[in-house]
Amino acid sequence: MLKYHFDWGTVLSGRYLDWLLSGVVVTLEISALSLALAMFLGVLVAMLRLGPLGFLRRLAQAYLEFFRNTPLLVQIFFWYFGSYKILPQALNDWLATTNFEFAAGVVALGIYTSAFIAEDIRSGVRAIPKEQMEAARSAGFGYLGAMRHVILPQAVRITIPPLVNQFLNLTKNSSLAMTIGVAELTYQARQVESYSFKGLEAFSAAALAYLLISLFIAGAVNLYTRWVLRPAAGR
């Protein structure tokens, strides 16, 4: 029986280790920026879906249906290969001076994830009793003010578990950015494999890194929920 001898020393030392660590940094950067964009757009779209204007509700619904039901990889390719045709020339000129691959990855991941976050937040808002909104409006808040100060803070507490899942999915989905040349963790693991011919070790190290990142995110959110949200809800 053929037994494979793992050679961890090759991929976890020297330039190979540097490549993997730089990939972890890029993965964290693209995930954090994409998450910020996804949360902003997710809250915005959720508010439009719940708003009083029918046209905006239908527009938000079309947004959700399109981005939830098309593959993320196709969306990444769209923003990388086709966005220059729909963006203003001045913006295209500016993007040409930046890391366009990274920017395209952030936009694609952020918009894709926002469609799922919007539905989670909308479900959380709908779980809040209608009397809360009525009380806020009677106290002098407008629709946006009531959402911001009364409804959304409660809805976010309810939606913490599904939002954590979206955060974790976004981090793992960031590996698809390698297809447009973003030097994140999977890209660097593939580079290590190409130079060292130690594919099993390289991708095992990458898988372990993704696992540790996911466990850290889940643990941090659990601590935040336990020590911040629950005491605040009990006051």
Within a domain: residue 102? yes
Within a domain: residue 199? yes
Distance (Å, whole) CA 55 – CA 38: 22
> What range defines the domain where residue 41 resides?
17-234
Dump pLDDT digits (tens) for 156-178. Answer: 777 877 888 899 999 999 999 99
Report long-range pairs for 181-186 (Cβ below 8 Å, ≥24 apart).
181/101, 182/26, 182/30, 182/101, 182/102, 182/105, 183/22, 183/23, 183/26, 184/23, 184/26, 184/27, 184/30, 185/20, 185/23, 185/24, 185/26, 185/27, 185/209, 185/210, 186/23
Give percent of the chain with pLDDT exceeding 70.
93
Q: How many domains does the chain have?
A: 1
Q: What is the pLDDT of residue 226?
A: 74
Q: What is the pLDDT of residue 233?
A: 53
Within a domain: residue 6? no
* pLDDT beyond 80 at 229: no
* pLDDT beyond 80 at 191: yes
Top-confidence residue, 137 or 183: 183
Confidence of residue 180 (pLDDT cuts 50, 70, 90): very high
Distance (Å, whole) CA 150 – CA 130: 12
Within a domain: residue 120? yes
Top-confidence residue, 26 or 13: 26
Within a domain: residue 48? yes
Q: What is the pLDDT of residue 86?
A: 74
Dump pLDDT digits (tens) for 102-131. Answer: 999 999 999 999 999 999 988 888 878 777
Distance (Å, whole) CA 107 – CA 109: 6
pTM: 0.86
Within a domain: residue 1? no
Give percent of the chain with pLDDT exceeding 90.
50
- Cβ distance 124 to 159 under 8 Å? yes
Confidence of residue 235 (pLDDT cuts 50, 70, 90): low
The mean-pLDDT minimum among 83-87, 155-159, 187-191, 200-204 falls in: 83-87
Within a domain: residue 2? no
Q: What is the pLDDT of residue 162?
A: 84
Confidence of residue 88 (pLDDT cuts 50, 70, 90): confident
The mean of the pLDDT values for the chain is 86
CATH number at residue 152: 1.10.3720.10
* pLDDT beyond 60 at 80: yes
Within a domain: residue 12? no
Dihedral, 106, 107, 108, 112 alpha carbons, nearest 10: 100
